[in-house]
Structure 1
Amino acid sequence: MKKQKWIALLLAGGRGTRLNLLTKSIVKPAVPFGGKYRIIDFALSNCKNSGIETVGILTQYRPYELHSHLGSCSYWNLYNRYGGLTILPPFQRNNSGVEWYEGTSHAVFQNIEFIEQHKPEHVLILSADQIYKMDYSLMLEQHIEKNADCTIAVVEVPWEDASRFGLIKMDEESYKIIGFEEKPEHPTTNVASMGIYIFKWSVLKDYLLQDEEKEFTHRDFGKDIIPSMLKEGLELYAYYFNNYWKDVGTVHSYWNANLDLLDRESNIFLKNPEWRIHTVESNAPPLFLDKSAKVHHSLLSEGCEICGTIENSVVFNGVKIGKGARIKNAVILPNTIVGENAWIENAIIGSQTVVKNGVIIVSKDSNAHLMVVGNNVIVDPELHDFTSKNNVLTVSS
């Protein structure tokens, strides 16, 4: 097989438990985003646009919908004779049964044979659950120029969010990394790892093999591989990224990232429009607005039928909103039906869900609490034991 300069591996198997009910039945990278996309579309499109020929997608938790979405790699133009797109689930090795991926670095270790087939000089490791546009080839150029053993993409995050990330300390002039803390309780910097790494493959392979021999290891890049490389004096550098980036690992960050699309300054699709984000086309009919519909400052997708009032919201493809319904500061996922005179505010409503006539799903303070309804739910107080307080319906399952 042709020797390649680099290949990419997308880590797409995490449970995404902080997304609450949205990932109860599907893996986080398959969660819909932005009216018509899936979260994984961003990393995949970045690979295509960066000229990467070989992409391996490491899946594990509830992969069925994700596999279906990836069924035709032609949407990302990643089918070619030298590699293309390959789905890499856990598999049985020898006679010991299926070996599940136990951490980020362990998932890559389990696929050493796949990587070796392509004989890459460098390996790009990506998280499949972030919203951003990035030319990975520019990161590779810096990686090669610095003769780095590992390059980590970094971004500044709000101080109140810093403890959610691996944090980088670096020389401000050379960008050489001099310290790394994985999700510290009391952050001393807000320069965060994006979970995007480029390694010299020969170096990474040695560390993966060494890590597997240790008596105790988390089998994780942030907790094991990166600290070991720093401790042993290898050349690690930061690649500074200063464009839009959002880790959608929590319900609030996911909600905020969707509503960012309503602001011209933060709408990622309006920035660098030639850097397209590709997805599977739905072939849905055009959007229909009834004469009773009122829409203000919102994003509506194809296949919707709107008869109610929508304000400051993102409504995905195939959604139906009944007459008299009020939708505000909400994200309504695909093929959901909202009945007449329903009221939804400061909420996320999952896919293929039915909200019956007159139901109220409202949070009075979006900063403190968002209402979340899962996928494939029928919200009908007459059929379920929902709790209600101050005329607000709380949906917990």
Structure 2
Amino acid sequence: MKPSVISIVLGGGRGTRLFPLTYSRSKPAVPIAGKYRLVDIPISNCLNSGFNRILVLTQFNSASLNSHIKNSYHFDIFSKGFVDILAAEQNVENDQWYQGTADAVRQSMKHLDKYEYDYILILSGDQLYQMDFRAMIDFHCNNEADITIATIPVNWQDAPGFGILKADDDGNINSFIEKPSRDVLDDWKSEVSEKSRSEGKEFLASMGIYVFSKNMLKKMFDNDPGDDFGGELIPNGIGTFKMISYQYDGYWTDIGTIQSFFDANLELTQDFPKFNLFSHSPIYTRARMLPPSKILGSYVSKAIFGDGCVVMADKIENSIVGNRSRIDKGSTLINTYMMGADYYQDTKEIVINDQKGTANLGVGKYCYIERAILDKNCRIGDNVRIIGGKHLQDGDYDTHSIKDGIVVVKKNAVIHPGTIIP
């Protein structure tokens, strides 16, 4: 009998480490790979796994995320499938917004009463991976677990950024620590595969992907008033609930910082990227009626283009060019993610701006841009130079920010002709 599953995607908090990309949008709404949003990843994994009843919990800067989900995911009238939004709400019983991951799910449980289900699959909205959740649900059922946590081996350097757990030979979790300091890590090594051990990955990190048996989640909420799964409910529940580790050996990355976001996107341009967009497990997103991209006389190497682009650049290398991007003649983009635009600029306006020397939507003539992220609807004037590098200090300015040596031009920013950044 097919397991009855409800999936819950957590919409995330303020996403301060991804600022300025999260200034006007939530983390799951941040564009990736030139045409998708981060939230498309967990939703697509659910749909590809055959789980088509999905709730997305939203709270902070949720307008663009809500709009994207509403315009992207539609099922026919004979299907029981849905992707619905559950926005944070104040009511007579509770006047607080979501206080953490567990509190978000707890406050939403009353909305699940109208559905029949046996298991709840809880997912983060800001991770990049391809995973068949059916295998994890089967593992949960076969082991008669109360809670199953997806885990992935990580190295000593990365371990302090995750919840780290230890499990016995049967996968039963017997201890858990949230973001441990490095001086205690030697006590938290786990049994991992030979391949992981050879790569120095001897610590089991929680991926923030959970399967709960329905009644067990309700019991956990009754027992523990805590607000966060990783920080409170999971470690407090050890010994009370049967928790098991489901080790995942595929590609997975948490998009938590500008550096990780930048690296994950540019890695997609490589010959054989770890995250394969060209697979039998498609990534679903909003269907846009855009023309094909047009490239005129450009040298292009290891680049991804979205839909509806007009590119006259001199050179594009190791870069992603998003939907509706316009790059004028003589310009160069290297190691850059250009997110594109939400609309097309009128051609008459382009001609007038060229005559006035005013920046148009997209990248102007004879620009040089390297190690940068250009957020949506940027206007980069002619002869602009934007060159990031590890030598640069972090900082926030009117039109851009610098994080980890990456120059992030803000959404709707206007960079005047001849500007040099930094």
- Deviation readout 1:327-381 (Å, 9 max, x if unpaired): 1011111226011111111111101111111121111338951111121111127
Q: CA deviation at 1:65?
A: 0.7
Query: What runs of 5+ residues in structure 2 fail to find an aligned partner?
Result: 190-202, 342-360, 392-402
Instruction: Quote the Cα distance in structure 2 between the aligned partners of 1:78 and 1:95.
Output: 36
Q: TM-score, normalised by structure 1?
A: 0.88
Aligned to 2:110: 113
Aligned to 2:414: 378
- Deviation readout 1:234-289 (Å, 9 max, x if unpaired): 21111111111111111011111111111233252356x11111111222111111
Aligned to 1:389: none
Q: TM-score, normalised by structure 2?
A: 0.83
Aligned to 1:65: 64
The amino acid across from 2:262 in the alignment is W
Q: CA RMSD in A?
A: 2.2
Residues 168 and 321 (structure 1 numbering): CA distance in 2 closer, same or farther, change over 3 Å?
A: same
Instruction: Quote the Cα distance in structure 1 between the aligned partners of 2:17 and 2:309.
Output: 29
Query: What runs of 5+ residues in structure 1 fail to find an aligned partner?
Result: 387-391
Among residues 253, 268, 279, which one is paired with 1:246 in the alignment? 253
Residues 303 and 73 (structure 1 numbering): CA distance in 2 closer, same or farther, change over 3 Å?
A: closer
The 5-angstrom pairing of residues 265-284 of structure 1 reads 265-270=272-277, 273-284=279-290
Instruction: Quote the Cα distance in structure 2 between the aligned partners of 1:310 and 1:193.
Output: 37
Aligned to 1:355: 380
Counterpart secondary structure, 1:94: coil
Instruction: Quote the Cα distance in structure 2 between the aligned partners of 1:236 and 1:96.
Output: 30
The 5-angstrom pairing of residues 87-98 of structure 1 reads 87-94=85-92, 97=95
Aligned to 1:41: 40
**Cα contact 1:244–1:266 (8 A) shared by 2:** no
Instruction: Quote the Cα distance in structure 2 between the aligned partners of 1:261 and 1:288.
Output: 21
- Deviation readout 1:12-71 (Å, 9 max, x if unpaired): 132211112111010110111111111111100111111113211100011111111111
Percent identical: 35
Instruction: Quote the Cα distance in structure 2 between the aligned partners of 1:258 and 1:69.
Output: 20
Among residues 135, 145, 150, which one is paired with 2:142 in the alignment? 145
- Deviation readout 1:85-134 (Å, 9 max, x if unpaired): 2210112321764x311100000110111122214221111001111111
Aligned to 1:220: 228
Counterpart secondary structure, 1:44: helix
Aligned to 1:194: 207
Counterpart secondary structure, 1:263: coil
Q: CA deviation at 1:83?
A: 5.4
Name whichever of 351-360 and 142-151 sits farther off: 351-360
Instruction: Quote the Cα distance in structure 1 between the aligned partners of 2:77 and 2:107.
Output: 23
Counterpart secondary structure, 2:131: coil
**Cα contact 2:8–2:57 (8 A) shared by 1:** yes
Among residues 226, 243, 248, which one is paired with 1:236 in the alignment? 243
Counterpart secondary structure, 2:158: helix
Residues 83 and 301 (structure 1 numbering): CA distance in 2 closer, same or farther, change over 3 Å?
A: closer
The 5-angstrom pairing of residues 69-84 of structure 1 reads 69-72=68-71, 74=73, 77=75, 82=80, 84=82
Instruction: Quote the Cα distance in structure 2 between the aligned partners of 1:322 and 1:152.
Output: 49
**Cα contact 2:33–2:265 (8 A) shared by 1:** yes
Counterpart secondary structure, 1:45: helix
Aligned to 2:192: none
Corresponding position: 1:206 with 2:194: no
Residues 241 and 15 (structure 1 numbering): CA distance in 2 closer, same or farther, change over 3 Å?
A: same
Aligned to 1:85: 83
**Aligned pair count?**
373
Instruction: Quote the Cα distance in structure 2 between the aligned partners of 1:123 and 1:44.
Output: 14
Among residues 129, 140, 145, which one is paired with 1:132 in the alignment? 129
**Cα contact 1:167–1:181 (8 A) shared by 2:** yes
Instruction: Quote the Cα distance in structure 2 between the aligned partners of 1:348 and 1:52.
Output: 34
